[in-house]
C-alpha cells in the first residue's frame, strides 16, 4: 500500500499528464485522493498542475477544511465539488476535474455525450450527461453534480469542463482521458458527415460484456428505466429517436430526448 508521500507524488505525476495532454490551461483543474473518511489530499489553488511537487499538496477534512498545508498553499477552490462526490459515493477514492478541449466544448454547446460510437466508450462510460451550470466555488456545482452521481462515473459541467471519479487516482484520470477521447471522436466524426452509430443490439452486447467483467463504478446500463423492462438502456433511450430519422441534427434530437428521459428519472 502507498504511503502518503507516495500518493502525493502520484498526484503530481497525474497533474503532469493532465497538463501535458492540454486538458487544462494555466492553473486550472484539480485532483483529490481519499486517505480515509476524515482525511483527503488535494491540489492547491493558483498553481499549474503540470509543475507540482509533493510539498504543494494540501490535506483537508471531509468538510474541505484545511488540516495541513505548507505556507503559500491553499486547497482548491473547487474542493466542495470533490467532497460532495466522496460524501455521496463511498466507493470513490479519487476525483479529477479538468477542462479538456473537446469535452468542454460539448459542455459549452450543451450537448451531452450520448451517441454510441465505439465499444470502449460504451463499456467504460455509457453516456456522459451535463450537470447544469453553477458558479465555481459555490454549492451550485456540487448540487448540480449530485443528481448524476449515482448513475455515472463522469459528468460534463455546463459551460465549464468535466469531472471524473473512481476507485483509484489512476482510474479517475483514465476516465477523464476516456471522456475526452470520446468527445474528440464524436466531434471529428461529425465533421466527416456524422458518426455511424452502433445498433441497439451491439450496445446491449457491450453492456453484457461490462456485466461479465464485473466492472466497478456506476454505469447508466444498470439504472435506466427501459433496462428494467429488459430493454437496452441509456443510448437506446436516446436511441428511441433513431427511427425519427430525417433530422440532420440527429445528435441534438438524441440529446433532447436523453435529457427528457433523465428528467423523468428524476436525474
Active-site residue list: 78
- Residue number with CB closer to Zn ion (96 or 123): 96
Task: Give the strand pairing for 154-157 and 161-166.
Answer: antiparallel
Residue 161 found at the interface with Zn ion (CB under 5 A)? yes
- Residue number with CB closer to Zn ion (165 or 207): 165
From 127, 139, 125, 132, select the one nearest 110 (Cα to Cα).
132
- Residue number with CB closer to Zn ion (134 or 161): 161
| Residue 88 burial (CB count, 10 A) | 13
Q: Is 16 exposed, middle or buried (0-12, 13-18, 19+ CB in 10 A)?
A: middle
The end-to-end CA distance of the chain, in Å, is 37
Give the residues across from 33 on adjacent strands. Answer: 41, 94
Position of minimal CB gap to Zn ion: 161
Give the interface segment with Zn ion, choosing from 154-162, 163-171, 216-224, 236-244 (CB under 5 A). 154-162
User: What nine digits make up the cell of 66?
Assistant: 484545511
Give the interface segment with Zn ion, choosing from 153-161, 166-174, 246-254, 258-266 (CB under 5 A). 153-161
Q: Is 5 exposed, middle or buried (0-12, 13-18, 19+ CB in 10 A)?
A: exposed
- Residue number with CB closer to Zn ion (129 or 161): 161
Residue 142 found at the interface with Zn ion (CB under 5 A)? no
Minimum distance of Zn ion from residue 80's CB (angstroms)? 12
- The H or E element that residue 155 is part of is strand 154-157
Minimum distance of Zn ion from residue 85's CB (angstroms)? 14
Minimum distance of Zn ion from residue 14's CB (angstroms)? 16
- Residue number with CB closer to Zn ion (142 or 161): 161
Minimum distance of Zn ion from residue 157's CB (angstroms)? 7
The answer to whether 64 touches 80, Cβ cutoff 8 Å, is yes
Minimum distance of Zn ion from residue 96's CB (angstroms)? 11
Residue 44 found at the interface with Zn ion (CB under 5 A)? no
Q: Say whether 116 sits in a helix, a strand or coil.
A: coil
Return the axis-axis angle of helices 169-191 and 101-109, rounded to nearest 10°. 70
Give the interface segment with Zn ion, choosing from 39-47, 160-168, 197-205, 253-261 (CB under 5 A). 160-168
Give the interface segment with Zn ion, choosing from 43-51, 107-115, 155-163, 198-206 (CB under 5 A). 155-163
Q: What's the CA gap between 49 and 197, in Å, rounded? A: 36
Minimum distance of Zn ion from residue 260's CB (angstroms)? 28
- # chain residues binding Zn ion, by CB under 5 A: 1
Categorise residue 224: left if φ over 0, alpha if ψ from -120 to 50, beta otherwise.
Answer: beta
- Residue number with CB closer to Zn ion (85 or 198): 85
Residues of this chain that interact with Zn ion (CB under 5 A) are 161
Amino acid at each position: 500500500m502507498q504511503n502518503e508521500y507516495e500518493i502525493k507524488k502520484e498526484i503530481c505525476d497525474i497533474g503532469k499528464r493532465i497538463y501535458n495532454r492540454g486538458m487544462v490551461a494555466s492553473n486550472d483543474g484539480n485532483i483529490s485522493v481519499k486517505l480515509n473518511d476524515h482525511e483527503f489530499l488535494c491540489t492547491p489553488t493558483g498553481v499549474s498542475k503540470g509543475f507540482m511537487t509533493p510539498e504543494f499538496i494540501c490535506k483537508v477534512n471531509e468538510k474541505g477544511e484545511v488540516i495541513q498545508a505548507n505556507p503559500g498553499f491553499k486547497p482548491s477552490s473547487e474542493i466542495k465539488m470533490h467532497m460532495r462526490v466522496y460524501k455521496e459515493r463511498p466507493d470513490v477514492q479519487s476525483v479529477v476535474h479538468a477542462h479538456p478541449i473537446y469535452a468542454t466544448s460539448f459542455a459549452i454547446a450543451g450537448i451531452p455525450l450520448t451517441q454510441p460510437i465505439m465499444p470502449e466508450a460504451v463499456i467504460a462510460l455509457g453516456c456522459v450527461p451535463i450537470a447544469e451550470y453553477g458558479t465555481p466555488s459555490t454549492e451550485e456545482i456540487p448540487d448540480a453534480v449530485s443528481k448524476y452521481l449515482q448513475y455515472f462515473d463522469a459528468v460534463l459541467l455546463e459551460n465549464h469542463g468535466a469531472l471524473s471519479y473512481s476507485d483509484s487516482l489512476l482510474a479517475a484520470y483514465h476516465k477523464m482521458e476516456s471522456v475526452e477521447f470520446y468527445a474528440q471522436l464524436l466531434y471529428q466524426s461529425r465533421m466527416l458527415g456524422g458518426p455511424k452509430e452502433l445498433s441497439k443490439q451491439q450496445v446491449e452486447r457491450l453492456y453484457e460484456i461490462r456485466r461479465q467483467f464485473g466492472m466497478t463504478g456506476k454505469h447508466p446500463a444498470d439504472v435506466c428505466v427501459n433496462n428494467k423492462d429488459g430493454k437496452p438502456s441509456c443510448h437506446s433511450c436516446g436511441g428511441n429517436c433513431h427511427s425519427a430519422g430525417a433530422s440532420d441534427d440527429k445528435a441534438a434530437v438524441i440529446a433532447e430526448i436523453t435529457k427528457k428521459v433523465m428528467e423523468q428519472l428524476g436525474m
